[in-house]
């Protein structure tokens, strides 16, 4: 088994899913998983893209047994096989320039003729060839497609047939001496002993060409399995607007590798039951190519976030704290000394917030008020919960809290409810304004748990600040001079 990404782009979900399926099939069948880098496009290939690919695969937990092999380092091997095809009379040199080819295609389009290459160079005389050689005209090597039909058996799609009349004489070696994709993949798969080629079904049009090359070289093709496409939720081709970002970007945006692994595997494959959360070991045990669907899978970002939240909740509080610590340091909310001395405080925040988290980045988003004073209050909350009598209610609560040595959530809840009864108001008339006062927000985890973690002094300070704020906005509303 192999995965052969090109370092002309980042590792995206389609390639990552194909890598997972190849890796799973190799591990399930005690085979080898090979990493090959298709970098013959020297101009567009880059070290940055290669690093993204290697980092993305490693982060997902996809290890390789051999490689990475680089096609750019195997050019002599491809030339040897191209020469063999040529010497067998199954290829010919094409001297047509790109401009000439473009002009002939345009002419064929206007005349509504077949746009295939017209085999102009196949019929060149030896004298014409010598003249072109003397001119040092660049030449590419074209495969001579025979008459008839080419077919192959696909593990997912069944038998696929194509009339050779629909296949033009395709180039196998470019004029610069580099192989085209179809020749390189055939040679590499043969030389590396690849038994199964699992890839996206956008490669189906290439496969008949590759089968023809295998036959021309008297080689046995591998078994093919072409994976269904991954579509966006609107059933159009997957793109960035659907959440199709690179694997390393998912990592940077707070997704866990186990969650993305689990999610990608289920895009087109099913274990045969309703299971959705599966460990790598469970997936490996159930995996088979026969359970891959023929229909396109839909990339649902919300489902991925839900799944990631499940995996986050499986982490211990200590482990999760270690994972979010870099974000806290980056924000400047903590330093190394704080991390060491206040670890229990930090673990309690993690424990409180982790049920709401869908991404690791959510921790910073949800935890600001534990580390920073509240600078502003949610506008809709101010309108709804900061009433004219709210300062009096908060003052009464503040007096009670100042006398408390027990700042546990159980005792705090009792204080709130007792006071609400005395004031003859619903407990929510205290709870919602206090939540807004202490966090600046209208929703979040349990208020009493928040108050216990923030602590008595900080809570009283924020309540005092809120009393003054509400008085100010009430005075402005009533037109008073402040």
Active site residues: 240
Residue where the block lists tokens 């079904």: 201
| C-alpha span between 257 and 57 (Å, rounded) | 10
Q: Cβ(29)–Cβ(72) under 8 Å?
A: no
The dihedral over CA atoms of 282, 283, 286, 290, expressed in degrees to the nearest 10, equals 180
| C-alpha span between 447 and 438 (Å, rounded) | 9
User: What SS3 state is found at 200?
Assistant: strand
Buried b (16+ CB within 10 A) or exposed e, 68-85: bbebeebeeebbebbeeb
Tokens matching residue 102:
């473009």
Task: Provide DSSP, 41-88.
Answer: -TTT--HHHHHHHHHHHHHHT---SEEEEEGGG-HHHHHHHHHHHHHT
User: What SS3 state is found at 408?
Assistant: coil
Tokens matching residue 276:
């959705």
Identify the burial level of 346 via C-beta atoms within 10 angstroms of its C-beta, where 0-12 means exposed, 13-18 middle and 19 or more buried. Answer: buried
| C-alpha span between 182 and 254 (Å, rounded) | 38
User: Considering only CA atoms, which of 95, 78, 121 is closest in space to residue 217?
Assistant: 78
β-strand pairing of 171-173 with 230-231? unpaired
| C-alpha span between 357 and 313 (Å, rounded) | 8
Tokens matching residue 375:
């600078």
Give CA 77 to chain center in angstroms. 34
Enumerate long-range contacts of 352-356, CB under 8 Å, 24 or more apart: 352/445, 352/446, 352/449, 352/450, 352/453, 353/445, 354/312, 354/313, 354/315, 354/317, 354/320, 355/313, 355/445, 356/444, 356/445
Tokens matching residue 162:
């194509």
Tokens matching residue 312:
């986050």
Task: Provide DSSP, 290-351.
Answer: GGB-SSPEE--HHHHHHHHHHHHHHS-HHHHHHHHHHHHHHHTS--HHHHHHTHHHHHHHHH
The backbone torsions φ and ψ at residue 133, rounded to the nearest 5 degrees and listed phi first, read: -65, -40
């Amino acid at each position: 088994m192999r995965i052969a990404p090109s370092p002309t782009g980042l590792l995206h979900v389609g390639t990552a899913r194909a890598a997972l399926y190849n890796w799973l099939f190799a591990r399930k069948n005690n085979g080898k998983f090979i990493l090959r880098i298709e970098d013959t496009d020297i101009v567009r290939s880059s070290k940055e893209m290669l690093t993204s690919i290697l980092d993305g695969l490693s982060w997902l937990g996809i290890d390789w047994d051999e490689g990475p092999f680089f096609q750019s380092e195997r050019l002599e091997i491809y030339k040897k096989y191209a020469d063999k095809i040529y010497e067998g009379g199954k290829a010919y040199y094409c001297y047509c320039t790109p401009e000439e080819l473009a002009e002939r295609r345009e002419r064929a389009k206007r005349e509504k003729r077949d746009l295939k290459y017209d085999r102009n160079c196949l019929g060149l005389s030896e004298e014409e060839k010598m003249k072109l050689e003397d001119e040092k005209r660049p030449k590419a090597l074209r495969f001579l497609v025979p008459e008839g039909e080419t077919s192959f058996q696909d593990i997912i799609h069944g038998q696929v047939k194509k009339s050779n009349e629909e296949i033009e004489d395709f180039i196998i070696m470019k004029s610069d001496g580099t192989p085209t994709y179809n020749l390189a993949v055939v040679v590499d798969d043969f030389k590396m002993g690849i038994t199964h080629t699992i890839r996206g079904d956008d490669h189906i049009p290439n496969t008949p060409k590759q089968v023809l090359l295998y036959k021309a070289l008297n080689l046995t093709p591998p078994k093919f399995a072409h994976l269904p496409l991954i579509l966006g939720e609107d059933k159009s081709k997957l793109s960035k607007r659907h959440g199709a970002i690179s694997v390393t970007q998912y990592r940077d945006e707070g997704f866990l590798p186990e969650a993305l692994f689990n999610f990608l595997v289920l895009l087109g494959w099913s274990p045969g039951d309703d299971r959705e959360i599966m460990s790598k070991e469970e997936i490996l045990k159930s995996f088979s190519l026969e359970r891959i669907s023929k229909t396109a899978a839909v990339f649902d970002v919300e489902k991925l976030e839900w799944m990631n939240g499940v995996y986050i909740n499986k982490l211990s509080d200590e482990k999760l704290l270690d994972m979010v610590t870099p974000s806290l340091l980056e924000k400047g909310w903590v330093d190394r000394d704080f991390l060491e001395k206040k670890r229990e405080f930090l673990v309690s925040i993690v424990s409180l917030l982790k049920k709401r988290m869908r991404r690791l980045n959510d921790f910073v988003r949800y935890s600001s008020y534990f580390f920073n004073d509240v600078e502003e209050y949610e506008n809709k909350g101010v309108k709804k919960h900061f009433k004219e009598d709210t300062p009096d209610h908060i003052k009464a609560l503040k007096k009670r809290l100042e006398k408390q040595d027990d700042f546990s959530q159980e005792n705090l809840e009792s204080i709130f409810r007792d006071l609400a009864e005395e004031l003859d108001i619903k407990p929510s008339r205290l709870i919602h304004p206090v939540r807004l006062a202490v966090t600046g927000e209208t929703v979040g985890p349990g208020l009493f748990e928040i108050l216990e973690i923030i602590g008595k002094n900080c809570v009283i300070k924020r309540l005092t600040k809120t009393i003054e704020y509400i008085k100010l906005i009430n005075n402005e509303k009533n037109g008073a001079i402040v």
